[in-house]
Amino acid sequence: MSAKRLQLLGGVLFAAIIAVPAFVESRFILHMVTLIFFYIAMTSAWNIPVFGGKMSLGHAAFFGLGGYTGAILYVKFGVSPWIGAAAGVAVSLLGGVVMTLPLLRLRGPFFTLASIAFAEVLRMIAIDWRSLTNGSVGLNIPFKPGWANLTFQSGKPFYFLSLILAVAVVFVAYRLRHSALGFHLRASASNDEAAQALGVDTRRAHFIALLWSSGLTGLIGVFYVFFIYVVEPSTMFSLTLFSLQPALNGIIGGIGTIWGPVIGAIVMTPFGEYLRFYLGTIQQGLNYVVYGVVLILTVNFIPGGIVSLVRPKRSNRSDGSGSSSDTKEAR
């Protein structure tokens, strides 16, 4: 397919996405598509450190920090959610610094496991610090409709807000991947020692990537809290929802790429909701068995994720010229 046709197809799809709320009245469909947009943003933010080979399973920590910051400021101090969003990003960045500095020396599964521990520690703090977080009971967002309070009588405003978030985070990920930082991260992922020998400060590159990722994740957490109107530890610091799910989306879509997280979120979000609601009623935990089977099949048969399936078709059109531009576009 030519570049012009791809651009035309992209324009048509984007116009169709914008027009959905005007023609679809089903609250379930609007909710599902909004959730897909949130997970596109979440998975793309999670994917930024993966450019350098750092796979975190502790992003629920940043999501929860951002969400709790925005909710506490609004509920207890009457601070505007828009100001709370900026504060949530700042607190998530601080959390990113706290997690990243001691863990940068760790590699592979050790970094991944340590990031899980960081998120679990924050979840326990949120449960025990009852005077601030209201413990396991959590906080409810007062329903005061209006843009100033980021609460609405219909789901349409959040449809567009989540779409803007998704587009913005994907754009940031794209810019970072094709910047000097992105080249340093990919060099580190290929061979960290060789990259250092060539003068690349790989620790600095990983640190900046994780800060970008944590800040964006915290911002998403703030908007998500006002989308569901409640914040409590088991949800906001959920290992399943906001650590494992983005990772699963990325792996199935294609980690380390731009469009892999997007494709993974589009495929796995409705699939995951279906499994959770229907298989979960048959036998608790059965949906995770299916998740595991899907993950095993993906890793064995399409290790590059769904996005890798388009690469052979594009490379064949080069007629053996060996051009890397097609592969770059697929990413």
Cα–Cα distance list, 324 to 61, 303, 317 (Å): 37, 20, 12
Residue 153: inside a domain: yes
CA-CA distance, 50 to 186, in Å (whole number)? 9
HSE-up (13 A, CA, CB side) for residue 8: 5
Counted domains in the chain: 1
Residue 75: inside a domain: yes
Residue 274: inside a domain: no
Pick the closest to residue 90 from 114, 68, 75 (CA basis): 68
Residue 127: inside a domain: yes
Torsion, CA 249, CA 251, CA 253, CA 259, rounded to 10: 90
Domain extent for 73: 3-237
Residue 253: inside a domain: no
Residue 296: inside a domain: no
For residue 140, what are the β-bridge partners? 230
Residue 42: inside a domain: yes
Residue 163: inside a domain: yes
pLDDT per residue as tens, the chain (331 positions): 555 776 677 778 888 888 888 888 888 899 999 999 999 999 999 999 999 999 999 999 999 999 999 999 999 999 999 999 999 999 999 999 999 988 888 887 888 899 999 999 999 999 999 999 999 999 999 999 999 999 999 889 999 999 999 999 999 999 999 999 999 999 999 998 999 998 999 999 999 999 999 999 999 999 999 999 999 999 999 998 999 999 999 999 999 999 999 999 999 999 988 888 887 677 777 888 888 898 899 989 999 999 988 765 444 444 444 434 444 444 4
Q: What is the pTM of this model?
A: 0.90
CA-CA distance, 178 to 328, in Å (whole number)? 10
